Structure 1
Amino acid sequence: MQITITDADPDAAQALACLRAYYDLLLENIAGLTPQMLALPLPEAGTYRAPEGAFLLAWAAGDAIGCVSLRRLDATTAEVKRLWVAPHARGRGLARRLMAEIESRARSMGFAQLKLDSNSSLTPAIGLYRATGWADCAPYTSFPADIWMSKSLA
């Protein structure tokens, strides 16, 4: 399967389809999370557009099969959000590739530090983050997050 990763608008139809699938995954795995807590289109979509952020889609055979996004938190720190890979595309290193691409993008935008929040029920994601140099940090968001991580880009 040949995969390409491109910039996308977070309000584009394929981006919204990926985000809906990501939200479905969260609803299946996180107790206490409700659909009302997961708005689409993203109310903060503008923060995931250049020059403040980025929204990336992974494509195979004309279908969007993964996404990840980045938004500015402050002058030196950005937040990685909404990493998702379609079930049929998992186990091929695509999540790792998306994370590497968004980290590269953050560097090119001048960020020195990245943060992310997650939930302990998302064990494959947590494992990926730890395996790629992310470390626990102080909480900076609320439920549904119960794990917070950071990574230096230096």
Structure 2
Amino acid sequence: MQIIRDDLRGPEIAALLEAHLADFAPHSPPESRHALDLDGLRRPEVHFYTAWEDGELLGCGAFKRLDARHAELKSMRTDSRHLRRGVARALLTRLIAEARAAGFERLSLETGSVAHFVPARHFYAAAGFAECGPFGDYVEDPYSVFMTRRL
């Protein structure tokens, strides 16, 4: 598996991000969906990475600068054909290392609160993230769970 910093130009990436949005749309109202679109992920404060194997996109993930010491994890997604192969863990490990190397001291995330997102919350907890209050521009939301970890 090769993980690279990506410019989000490939059609495979757009398709994976569309699947990402479609997957959680039925579980949260529009005002509680905080995923970035392609243009948002291309902003200079976002570091976007993809995982590839034999020319096939396996997954993606990003972090976004909130301030000089704090970044937010964004757009973690594994292609459904590659689940349970360690793609998400490899991406998260790389994102944590890259955020640390960029000088961030904290990495936080927002995920859903309903049953659909239980596996994601367990995954992040196993990686050292703990529940916290809203951060950045977020506010309390019954459809959101906020998590953070020190780097």
> Are the structure 2 counterparts of residues 111 and 12 from structure 1 closer, same or farther at C-alpha, using a change threshold of 3 Å?
same
* Structure 1 contact 55–70 (Cα < 8 Å) conserved: yes
Report the alpha carbon displacement of residue 117 of structure 1 after superposing the two structures with TM: 0.3
Q: How does 1:29-44 map to 2 (within 5 A)?
A: 30-33=27-30, 40-42=37-39, 44=40
Asked if 1:53 corresponds to 2:46, the answer is yes
* Structure 1 contact 72–79 (Cα < 8 Å) conserved: yes
Question: Gaps spanning 5+ residues in structure 1: where?
Answer: none
Letter matched to residue 26 of structure 1:
F
Report the alpha carbon displacement of residue 40 of structure 1 after superposing the two structures with TM: 3.9
Q: CA RMSD in A?
A: 2.3
Q: Counterpart in 1 of 2:3?
A: 5
Asked if 1:112 corresponds to 2:105, the answer is yes
Question: Gaps spanning 5+ residues in structure 2: where?
Answer: none
> Are the structure 2 counterparts of residues 126 and 37 from structure 1 closer, same or farther at C-alpha, using a change threshold of 3 Å?
closer
Report the alpha carbon displacement of residue 33 of structure 1 after superposing the two structures with TM: 4.0
Q: How does 1:78-93 map to 2 (within 5 A)?
A: 78-93=71-86
Measure, in 2, the Cα distance between the counterparts of 1:22 and 1:109: 26
Give the alignment's TM-score, normalised by structure 1.
Answer: 0.83
Using the aligned pairs only, state the percent identity: 29
Give the alignment's TM-score, normalised by structure 2.
Answer: 0.84
> Are the structure 2 counterparts of residues 21 and 144 from structure 1 closer, same or farther at C-alpha, using a change threshold of 3 Å?
farther
Report which stretch shifted further, 88-97 or 13-22. 13-22
Q: How does 1:130-145 map to 2 (within 5 A)?
A: 130-140=125-135, 141=138, 145=143
* Structure 2 contact 69–105 (Cα < 8 Å) conserved: yes
Candidates 15, 18, 23, aligned match of 2:16: 18
Count of aligned residue pairs for this structure pair:
145
Asked if 1:101 corresponds to 2:98, the answer is no
Measure, in 1, the Cα distance between the counterparts of 2:119 and 2:96: 19
> Are the structure 2 counterparts of residues 137 and 56 from structure 1 closer, same or farther at C-alpha, using a change threshold of 3 Å?
same
Measure, in 2, the Cα distance between the counterparts of 1:33 and 1:134: 25
> Are the structure 2 counterparts of residues 126 and 5 from structure 1 closer, same or farther at C-alpha, using a change threshold of 3 Å?
same
* Structure 2 contact 2–53 (Cα < 8 Å) conserved: yes
* Structure 2 contact 78–88 (Cα < 8 Å) conserved: yes
Q: Counterpart in 1 of 2:148?
A: 150
Which secondary structure does the structure 2 equivalent of 1:122 belong to? helix
